[in-house]
Chain A
């Protein structure tokens, strides 16, 4: 079975541009989360979606938005890119039912490396 897949693997953009990152969860997983990992730091939570609804949002500006589709895949959009948006963007999925934790394992994709010049 395929794991969490993300595309593209690498992306180079310039300041002010817009970017869309894509994520396909593990088959059967309905929850998708997005994280940003700046070099040398741990990942930071951006968004979580379950059944196409936003269930959580981290401390990120409104330039960041996301959505989840009926097939549970997800997109992360970032507008008006800044140099500081350069990071590894990670997507994670789990088999939970959307409620609180009950031993779900959170599986991560390999990420999209975004460079903003």
Chain B
């Protein structure tokens, strides 16, 4: 089965600092989703990457998928308290190619200190 490892598990940064969250797969990814979650709430879609070497940005958040499609990073520039939450990566298994059957990492808890 496909496993996703996220690092770090938790991150505390001062407002204005940059940060990076990593997501590593044990197998080649068909595609990868990044979501943000507030504690006990639903997941908010951030980005979806499918092609090796792909990079997408939205506001101050940039996500990249490496050429081998086994590792992704999420970078936040000039962090703000509104960025605080749990960041989850979800992999599309290459066996099914179905985006609805995602395997998620354990999440990275981000705290941004004002």
Given contacts A103-B50, A105-B48, contact A40 B98 (CB under 8 A): no
Task: Report B-chain residues with C-beta under 8 Å of the C-beta of A106.
Answer: 33, 45, 90, 99-100, 102
Task: Report B-chain residues with C-beta under 8 Å of the C-beta of A55.
Answer: 98, 100
- Partner-binding segment picked from A11-19, A60-68, A78-86, A92-100: A92-100
Task: Report A-chain residues with C-beta under 8 Å of the C-beta of B50.
Answer: 101, 103
Task: Report A-chain residues with C-beta under 8 Å of the C-beta of B25.
Answer: none
Residue of B nearest to A109 (CB): B42
The CA-CA distance from A35 to B50 in the complex, in Å, is: 22
The CA-CA distance from A55 to B30 in the complex, in Å, is: 18
**CB distance A111 to B42 under 8 Å?**
yes
Task: Report A-chain residues with C-beta under 8 Å of the C-beta of B48.
Answer: 103, 105
The CA-CA distance from A90 to B102 in the complex, in Å, is: 13
CB distance from B24 to the nearest CB of A (A): 14
Chain B 89-102, CB within 8 Å of chain A: the 1/0 string? 01010001111111
Is the C-beta of A72 less than 8 angstroms from some C-beta in chain B? no
**CB distance B40 to A113 under 8 Å?**
yes
The CA-CA distance from A113 to B101 in the complex, in Å, is: 21
Our pick among B30, B33, B43, B100 for the contact of A31 (Cβ within 8 Å) is B100
Residue of B nearest to A34 (CB): B100
- Partner-binding segment picked from B12-20, B64-72, B77-85, B104-112: B104-112
**Interface residue ranges, B against A (CB under 8 Å):** 4, 30-31, 33, 35, 40-45, 48, 50, 88, 90, 92, 96-107
In the A-B complex, list the 10 residue pairs whose CB atoms are closest, starting with the nearest.
A42-B104, A100-B97, A110-B42, A108-B43, A101-B99, A33-B100, A48-B100, A108-B42, A56-B101, A45-B101
Q: Could you give 22 example pairs across A and B, Cβ below 8 Å?
A: A31-B100, A41-B107, A42-B4, A42-B90, A42-B107, A43-B43, A48-B101, A56-B101, A58-B101, A88-B40, A90-B42, A92-B43, A92-B100, A100-B98, A101-B31, A101-B99, A106-B33, A106-B90, A106-B102, A108-B42, A108-B44, A110-B42
